[in-house]
Structure 1
């Protein structure tokens, strides 16, 4: 059992350091006094450059945070995850998503006995999945791919397919259906034809309520429209092959119980990505992630980018009290990135007890929110610049564009740079309405180009960052019991909407249910 971060001597030292700074660092003074600040707080990792110098920390704070990580035996926790130990303690299993991008036959020191066999199965499934993806790409009759899934079976593939548009096969349209709200599926079905559509039904258990309801409606629509050959037009991504067969789906690609949903886009759940960018592109995607895995696994903590980001997160959340992190990608194709990172961070680390079940005395996951940066400037950046609460901001920029429109990309990049500069420097004014206090923090993450490899590396970076902060807080980042209760209650309430039965319900739920059920207890 490793000590939690608040149980280390460095915790009190960090509190004292924060107080000694007058409860905060002035970035403008910090740059004036330290000519090497940018060099020290910026770093190149595989495919990703990060400038952390405009954040509200100094070298002493970082050194104390690093000592705290060592005291918490972070490296031991990292190695246990890579080796396949049961780091998902509440479910008694490994969290071995890194195995999904490990090269064939590569053994790591300390591997658990099952890992070698599991790696063979990973590559056998990967080969079969990519062969199928290539067959779909070669089939000119298939023009539309509809992915039906929710949570990790939607957010990752949806985000990546949109992000990698420059690498997609022309003539294919990709649709993503996740919401149980029938308006979403209905709008997709109006735009496709049964003979030219491939439906991908993605559910680990093949029992997920929203996914299975949408899949049943899609199958009914397919039959009503005269669709022929379900086996050709429907494919299942699941660990429950028998259940998929009951639905008439004979083609299935599986994955394993050590793959958490929010970490699953590297597995067969990534089939939409593979169809979009091809087998070679998907292997580049995995290779980029593996390069970041190796950086995280082998780099010293002081030069380990996922670790440094996690330490900054803990500094902000627990010492400066910053409640949220805004994600501002300055690339329109990364529009789904904030939603993807919301699940990764908040489902992983939104916990109130540690892995031993003890109530935590400190805050954990920040609220993650955001939009593409250029749009955000005209929406919520007002709050970032002049709001009473300081928020952490993370800008993601891409140096090279994939379009030929003159001047656009330079304007975009100039805006990204300017926002970070303005937040830090501020502008003094005697008119309060026009006064910018400045000293507002930001991180600046830069990719040379938005490619399968760079996206893979960036996403792996974020996974490891979340793992590190969770490990230091002493929580299990790999379960998500908090999503279960509402789903269970919905199963009880659904038939009540038809019967109007309110027995045993609280007054608010009863009143709302009666209003929704309508006169006579029938749902509208």
Structure 2
């Protein structure tokens, strides 16, 4: 059994970091740091599986990095990481393991590197590959069915954000003749707009809900089924499939093709499971296996690289340094790739649902801040929307740039202009510009991280996502929180069920005055 995590604020390194920040952290200047160290780019950048990371434009030096690594050791990060890979129930509030990494393990690979890994790892790996093989065989069947031109994924949260982001990102690899649509919002306008483009005889609906009870998903699924039958559609079993563990409920719906996953897979980590079926249909079985392979390579890096050269560890510690010492409240994600336009939304759920917690793993209220707010848009769109604030606003916002070196689809001159913009924005944030008049003055010294992919492929996308997963794990472990539950999602769901009935009856008894007043205004009859 692993030793318990030690919360960051209870370690000697935390106090040392506070002293370091007070002494020179708050006045650290990137321009001076580069002038003093000609090797700074080399010292603060590294290769990792399928990508390169430049951390040199961040507000850190060798002393800061050394103390952050000591913090990781004193908190017990390595033991917590090893416990996850060993299949221990690190999701303590739900008494579950967090084995999403197992979803991308090759069938021949052993899930843990400890001499005596638990037997359940091998058992779960075998079950997982049975499901994976069946899911990929079905994906190939759909790909070969010329009559099935439209695939509609109906899900929400992790059952939508992940597959939608990945399908868009890997559009270059998508099979022609197949249109893939995503419906998540309970607002009927979204589903109606998609249905208006479809013919029932050419459409496959994928209902993605682990429990097959999610309100938004099941409402949309019921409406899709009603539309299908009203339009003369027949054979529900052929035109509907379910990604769920609730096979009985799916059968009651009329669905006979189901692919499940397990309670050790959290929704925001489920893209690698049957939830990834839309992606498998888009890029094929081998493409999906390459996607898993890229993530697995990053898993091996996180599990085995020394902490000082471990990219997820370095990024997670940097997040702690910025959130708790510099007091930065948000981080902006700027992928300079239209294909990655849904990456910011995906990362919002990954980080803020995982680490948006106010209590530690023991339920004690934390005396320090946790997850930053994540937000962003693809470049160059963001430059013409909110980069004004990034350069000249009163708050410093660290930026994470993501760039692709080579693209297969572009027009002459476009990609060089795109790369020039991402390099220029990172440079401008750091260097700034003097202006005695004030309005054109840029303070500079604004930090950024630069992630560079040689090309956007299934493997490199898999590695990029796994990197972000493990980075969130690291910061959560340092803060001493459980990154794998999401109880904050539940309260609103419970209240919505009650209010839905009140909208019909008009009964406002027991409601607060604001909710009661709004309820009356929203009643249609």
Tell me which interval the TM-score lies in, with the shorter structure as reference length: over 0.9
Q: Which residue of 2 aligns with 1:214?
A: 220
Once the two structures are TM-superposed, the CA of residue 239 in structure 1 deviates from its matched residue by 1.1
- The one of 146, 151, 172 equivalent to 2:178 is 172
Q: Which residue of 1 aligns with 2:245?
A: 239
2:69 corresponds to which of 58, 66, 70: 66
**8 Å contact 1:324–1:391 — kept in the other structure?**
yes
Cα distance in 2 for partners of 1:292, 1:479 equals: 23
SS at match of 1:328: strand
Q: Secondary structure at the match of 1:245?
A: helix
Q: Does 1:24 align with 2:27?
A: yes
Which SS does the other structure have where 1:204 is aligned? coil
- Does 2:296 match 1:290? yes
Cα offset, 1:22, TM superposition: 6.0
Partner residue of 2:376 out of 365, 370, 379: 370
**2:501 equivalent in structure 1:** 495
What are the residue-to-residue correspondences of 1:440-455 with 2, within 5 Å?
A: 440-455=446-461
Q: In the TM superposition, what is the alpha-carbon distance from 1:105 to its structure 2 partner? A: 2.9
**Partner Cα distance (2:408, 2:238) in 1:** 34
Match of 2:424 in 1: 418
What TM-score, normalized to structure 2? Answer: 0.98
2:229 corresponds, among 219, 223, 233, to: 223
Q: 1:510 to 1:404 in 2, by over 3 A?
A: closer
CA RMSD of aligned residues (A): 0.7
1:74-473 map, 5 Å? 74-107=77-110, 108-110=112-114, 111-473=117-479
| Contact 1:330–1:373 under 8 Å retained in 2 | yes
Q: Distance in 1 between matches of 2:52 and 2:25?
A: 31
1:112 CA displacement: 2.0
How many Å apart are 1:404 and its aligned residue? 4.2
Does structure 2 retain, via aligned residues, the 8 Å contact 1:37–1:53? yes
Could you say what secondary structure the match of 1:211 adopts?
helix
- C-alpha separation between the residues in 2 aligned to 1:198 and 1:375? 34
Q: Which runs of 5+ in 1 are unaligned?
A: none
1:58 and 1:265 map into 2 onto residues whose CA distance is 36
Residue 470 of structure 1 aligns to a residue whose secondary structure is helix
Q: TM-score, normalised by structure 1?
A: 0.98
Whole-angstrom distance in 1 between the partners of 2:332 and 2:377: 8
- Match of 2:15, SS state, is helix
Deviations 1:281-337 (A, max 9, x none): 000000000000000000000000000000000000000000000000000010000
**Contact 1:105 / 1:120 at 8 angstroms: preserved in 2?**
no
* Secondary structure of the structure 2 residue equivalent to 1:434: coil
Displacement of 1:246 in angstroms is: 1.0
Q: Contact 1:105–1:116 (CA<8 Å) still a contact in 2?
A: no
The CA deviation string for residues 138-195 of structure 1, in whole angstroms up to 9 with x for no partner, is 0000110100000000000000000000000011111000000000000000001100
Q: How many residues align?
A: 519
Counterparts of 2:26 and 2:130, CA distance in 1:
55
Secondary structure, aligned partner of 2:439: helix
Q: Which contiguous aligned blocks of 4+ residues in structure 1 show a shift greater than 6 angstroms?
A: none
Q: Is 1:510 aligned to residue 516 of structure 2?
A: yes
3-state SS in 1 of match to 2:406: coil
Q: Tell me which of 449, 474, 477 is aligned to 2:480.
A: 474
3-state DSSP of counterpart to 2:242 = strand
Secondary structure (helix, strand or coil) at the match of 1:364 reads coil
2:37 maps to which of 34, 38, 46: 34
State how far apart, in whole Å, the 2-side matches of 1:191 and 1:263 are. 31
Measure the CA separation in 2 of the matches of 1:2 and 1:257. 23
